[in-house]
Amino acid sequence: MAKNIEHWPDRKGQCLRDSKRCDWVDIPQQTFNMGAPPGEGYPEDGEGPQRQVALSSFRIWRTPVTNRQFGRFVRETAYRTLAETEGWSYVFFGLLSPEARRTVCSAPPETPWWFPVDGAFWRMPEGPGSEIEKRLDHPVVHVCWHDAVAFAHWAGGQLPTEAQWECAARGGRSGLKFPWGNELEPDGQHMANVWQGRFPGQNTALDGFAGTSPVRAFPENNFGLFDMIGNVWEWCSDDFLTDYHNVTSSENPVGQNGDGRKSLRGGSFLCHASYCARYRSAARSANDAHATSSNIGFRLTSTPS
């Protein structure tokens, strides 16, 4: 479990004053169309019905939290992630060497591409022998929801609500599948780090990355935000509700009283139209708050100063 936040050094707000550690974007108060229209996406995920949602102004981090930023948090607090204390985490099998794959005894039968790897955690993303020295500007991974909340507390922010996240992802552009338009690769240009090829066995990596990518590797949206689609899933503060759009408020909605799963947004480098086309602005997913893997990260929000 996460270290008791009451015992950490009180650094609330420090990150807001340190431009070298973070970069906030102000999102003004607004009403926007949230959710997927009929015929788009996965109805079973509760992507609709589409509706108008009013949000108060907020600030959001321009990128997902990086290994460099998470490393500073760990150095200053001696925090240990759940993956470290448990001693293992899930790694996508395509990121492992043949030798490493042979050491794994089992994988979930419904998702056999996820290998539980002993010793995998944020600083050794593929387990012992891997490192992040050349990936300091990649998003941190192998962080559970509680780890993300711990970082947010230290940095003086919080995890975004689903509504804040989707508003930010859309960048003020209504009715589009993606932050940039309705085509995944307009004019052949790769706009996000997602899977190319045939999932899960063939990844052509035509976008330049077989795993995570630096957080500013692809174009920003109209709000100046990077990686709102692809690269890593991002934890949100909400409990995941499949009837989210029917039961939450139309003003500053928050999913509450769920089944223990937390909401995820944005898709990851593993998303592909043949299996998981959840790299759209309205797409939703969920995982247990204690889940860790090599494709889940997060970013922060805060109230305007």
Weakest mean pLDDT among 3-12, 61-70, 149-158: 3-12
User: At which residue do the structure tokens 């247990």 appear?
Assistant: 288
CB-based contact 227:63 (threshold 8 Å): yes
Q: What mean pLDDT is predicted for residues 106-132?
A: 96
Give this prediction's pTM.
Answer: 0.93
Q: How much is the pLDDT for 275?
A: 87
pLDDT interval class at 274 (50, 70, 90): confident
Per-residue b/e over 148-169, b at no fewer than 16 CB within 10 Å?
Answer: bbbbbbbbbbbbbbbbbbbbbb
- Given CATH 3.90.1580.10, say whether it is the number of domain 23-302: yes
Q: How much is the pLDDT for 22?
A: 61
The answer on pLDDT for 13 being more than 60 is no
Q: How much is the pLDDT for 45?
A: 96
Q: Exposed/middle/buried for 136, CB within 10 Å: 0-12, 13-18, 19+?
A: middle
Q: Report the Cα–Cα distance between both ends of the chain, in Å, rounded.
A: 32
pLDDT interval class at 10 (50, 70, 90): very low
Q: State pLDDT tens for residues 276-305.
A: 899 999 999 999 999 999 999 999 999 987
pLDDT interval class at 17 (50, 70, 90): very low
Helix-, strand-, coil-residue percentages of the chain, each rounded to 5: 20, 20, 60
The answer on pLDDT for 78 being more than 80 is yes
List of residues 6+ apart from 111 with CB closer than 8 A: none
